[in-house]
Amino acid sequence: MGTGGRSGLRPGKGNTEGVAAGKGNTDGVAATPTAASASCQYRCIECNQEAKELYRDYNHGVLKITICKSCQKPVDKYIEYDPVIILINAILCKAQAYRHILFNTKINMHGKLCIFCLLCEAYLRWWQLQDSNQNTDPNDFIRYAKEWDFYRMFAIASLEQTAFFIGIFTFLWVERPMTAKKKPNFILLLKALLLSSYGKLLLIPAVIWEHDYTPLCLRLIKVFVLTSNFQAIRVTLNINRKLSLLAILSGLLVESTMVYFLQRMEWDVGSDCAIYKSQDF
């Protein structure tokens, strides 16, 4: 997901390399206080309680990880973890890793990641469209060589993803607790959903290394992306699994409605459903 434990920390927290058992010597850490401002809030990755800082930087490069006042555990143990370990934990959909990435790091690649994932999905749809309409007529090859088909697939993939997000946001808006002290942060949720859709990047390898099990791989990728979205919703809004699952199902319902509408317009949408139906297991 493009995360890093030490490199992805928000400004003002310094480098935590070399932290062990709460204290340690570091190289290149400025000997300045790191008390966070009141507006800069972090989250404990264990209990989701707010924290003003992740660690305290004493003079002479001595660091001490902050202990959560609620659960008495380190606020964020991942600040001393290697980015590869954090990525593995995120792939395993651990809530602690998601809280670290969403709340305690500064990642500004949501838009780029979204565009790249849509390009991957558009390429898969374009490839499927070309493969299912093979023709010996040279004019047909020229027609499919045009960029318009790929752009059309990109637009359709964008519409379907937008419909998926609208379904999620609509459900969460309707079902939000009326007595909640804080309104759901839908901006943060949108960023979380975009980041958690990184599994779509696996669509390209699944197509490049074409195999008899490609349709099964595509299904597994879809399930993985939905699972990541489910965990992102649960962690971001701190809601139970039932509401998160219903939000995902609502998104899928609106997305399916969009696919049906596009098919009624006689557009070759190249959707996942059409892909799976056209393949022989």
Lowest-confidence range among 116-125, 228-237, 267-276?
267-276
- Is residue 193 over pLDDT 70? yes
pLDDT classification of 223: cutoffs 50, 70, 90: very high
The whole-number pLDDT of residue 98 equals 92
The whole-number pLDDT of residue 281 equals 35
pLDDT classification of 196: cutoffs 50, 70, 90: very high
The whole-number pLDDT of residue 269 equals 58
Calculate Rg over the CA atoms of the chain: 22
Q: In whole angstroms, what is the distance from residue 232 CA to residue 194 CA?
A: 9
**What is the mean pLDDT of the segment spanning 238-256?**
93
The whole-number pLDDT of residue 32 equals 34
Lowest-confidence range among 39-53, 111-125, 155-169, 252-266?
39-53
* Each residue's pLDDT tens digit, 61-73: 677 888 888 888 8
- Is residue 159 over pLDDT 90? yes
pLDDT classification of 30: cutoffs 50, 70, 90: very low
Q: Is pTM beyond 0.85 here?
A: no
